[in-house]
Amino acid sequence: MPVMTYREAIRSAMADEMTRDDSVIVMGEDIGVYGGTHLVTDGLIDKFGPKRVIDTPIAEGGFTGAAIGMAMTGMRPIVEMMTWNFSFQAADQIIQNAAKVRYFSGGQVTVPLVIRGPNGGGVQLSAQHTHSLEGFYGHFPGLKVVSPVTPADAKGMMLASIRDNNPVIFLEAGALYGTKGEVPDGDFVVPFGKARIAREGTDITLIAYGRQVNMLLNVAEKLAGEGISAEVIDLRSIRPFDEETIVTSVRKTHRAVVVQEQWRWFSVASEVAAIIQEQAFDDLDAPVLRVSGAEVPAPYARNLELAAFPNEDQIAAAARRALYLEK
């Protein structure tokens, strides 16, 4: 299989679908001539031209609303948010229109729209450019929300997103754009609503999504040296959500730690912990533990940013606490 970076995998999926389907277009700020702030769309305008790779004004509410209208009338737009924080300017369009039009119309009108861009921290962009919005958008019925971590999943889930007849919130981690991995050739589609068992284990279940999954794999390797067998689950899909894989794993290991970059309160980790408690309470040998970002706006200074987000030592310590190996 060819090796691609995370950004190349996303670009490859978009290019494949634009070639296959003339109704697919890409639009956003600086995504054409400049190639995108993170170079995800680099070269697309040369291949498909400015009518299908559209440089927009700095007006998220305007171009997102335009894309919703395009989707309602037969096109399949892909909108880039330069950073997901800028989507706050378009939140009314996303939540009040994109998420609800199909329901309002009794299924007569669909909104096949993908909104994608960098989500979360780790790249020193400070408080107003560093939010993890999976819990925010995952709250609203009508939206699908995904957060791939591997280049293979990034391509496969982008293909699934473009072909879906519902609006998809595609959350990329800026810190992953340069990471590399094997990506299957051909029409490789990763379905929504199915978590990935990234590593099998028997003693404890470690659960995350996005760039935290790579931390879990490193922690699992470290714990293996201590005689602890950790199973690592990559959620991948926030809405729809794969409850079965999580519950099955916890029933096997009897312990769980959930890791996220976003703040602890009212979060994806809270939802995962609630699902485990509801469906696997009698199988638990310890409370479900959460490792989350600090309850502060994201700092700019690198040392403070590192302190504000979960790290491998915190995750390993939580796993040991769940196993009653340390307090």
**Mind telling me the catalytic residues?**
60, 129
187's CB contacts (< 8 A; 6+ apart) are 159
CA–CA distance, 204 with 257 (Å, rounded to integer):
8
Cα separations in angstroms, 228 against 205, 234, 320, 327:
11, 19, 9, 17
Q: Are 172 and 119 in contact (CB under 8 A)?
A: yes
Q: Are 12 and 162 in contact (CB under 8 A)?
A: no
Q: Are 116 and 78 in contact (CB under 8 A)?
A: yes
Q: Show the CA angle centred on residue 210, arms to residues 276 and 136, nearest 5°.
A: 70
Q: Are 309 and 297 in contact (CB under 8 A)?
A: no
Determine the 3-state secondary structure of 219 from DSSP.
helix
Q: Show the CA angle centred on residue 132, arms to residues 77 and 284, nearest 5°.
A: 120
The alpha-helical segments, DSSP class H, found in the chain are 6-20, 44-48, 60-72, 91-92, 101-104, 134-138, 151-163, 212-224, 243-253, 268-280, 302-308, 312-322
